[in-house]
């Protein structure tokens, strides 16, 4: 199988949160190691504690692990509860520090709460339409993800492509 680095990825999951026809974007804190000051959507990394502290759902497996991570990360980062999580797309990179990363992009509906930012993670937020998102300094690809999520809410299915 080769080098463990070739198979072990950080796993992150993000949420394109919809509320009243708009989507939540946040500006990453300037102290963040990756993409400081860029606009994105809430999310974070999978940690083994996201499932290992719970009983397994079957003899061998924990289920809804990514959904649990997303609920936790959104609550921690922006103070919101979400519902109706759906898959949008996936992306991968190898960061400058050599860490390979897999990101699962999802969409979800706002369920409750008012945005309360964790200032270590983000220092600003906005609720935007897919068109308005383009006027922000987004991490490359995020606007297309928001457009995909918006289209899916209207019943249109597609895979990610550069617009």
pLDDT number for residue 97:
84
Examine the pLDDT at 108 and tell me if it is beyond 60: yes
Give per-residue pLDDT as tens, 45-66: 988 888 888 899 999 999 999 9
Rounded to 10 degrees, the C-alpha dihedral 95/96/98/104 comes to 0
Q: Quick one: what percent of the chain has pLDDT higher than 70?
A: 95
Do 107 and 15 meet the contact criterion of CB atoms below 8 Å apart?
Answer: yes
Examine the pLDDT at 6 and tell me if it is beyond 80: no
So where are the chain's domains? 4-153
Average pLDDT, the chain: 91
Examine the pLDDT at 36 and tell me if it is beyond 50: yes
Report the distance separating Cα 118 and Cα 44, nearest Å.
13
Convert 94-124 to b/e letters by CB count within 10 Å (16 or more is b): eeeeeeeeebbbbbbebeeeebebbeebbbe
This model's pTM is above 0.85:
yes
The candidate with the shortest Cα–Cα distance to 22, out of 163, 150, 134, 138, is 150
The answer to whether the Cα torsion of 24, 74, 83, 146 is positive or negative is: positive
Give per-residue pLDDT as tens, 113-150: 999 999 999 999 999 999 999 999 999 999 999 999 99
* pLDDT bracket for residue 101 (50, 70, 90): very high
pLDDT number for residue 1:
44
Report the distance separating Cα 131 and Cα 115, nearest Å.
21
Cα–Cα distances (Å) from 60 to 11, 17, 57, 63, in that order, read 20, 32, 8, 10
pLDDT number for residue 80:
98
Examine the pLDDT at 103 and tell me if it is beyond 70: yes
Report the distance separating Cα 70 and Cα 76, nearest Å.
10
Average pLDDT over every residue of 66-95: 95
Pairing between β-strand 81-94 and β-strand 100-112 as defined by DSSP bridges: antiparallel
CATH code of 4-153, in short, is 3.90.79.10
* Residue corresponding to tokens 């983000």: 122
């Amino acid at each position: 199988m080769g080098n463990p680095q070739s198979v072990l990825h950080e796993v992150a999951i993000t949420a394109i949160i919809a509320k009243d026809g708009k989507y939540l974007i946040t500006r990453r804190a300037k102290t963040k190691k990756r993409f400081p000051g860029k606009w994105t959507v809430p999310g974070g990394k999978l940690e083994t504690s996201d499932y290992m502290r719970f009983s397994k759902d079957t003899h061998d497996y924990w289920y809804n692990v990514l959904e649990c991570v997303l609920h936790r990360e959104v609550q921690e980062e922006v103070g919101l509860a979400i519902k109706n999580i759906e898959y949008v797309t996936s992306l991968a990179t190898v960061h400058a520090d050599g860490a390979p990363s897999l990101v699962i992009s999802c969409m979800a509906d706002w369920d409750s709460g008012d945005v309360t930012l964790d200032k270590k993670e983000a220092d600003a937020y906005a609720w935007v339409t897919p068109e308005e998102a383009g006027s922000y300094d987004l991490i490359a690809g995020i606007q297309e993800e928001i457009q995909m999520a918006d289209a899916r809410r209207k019943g249109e299915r597609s895979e990610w492509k550069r617009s």
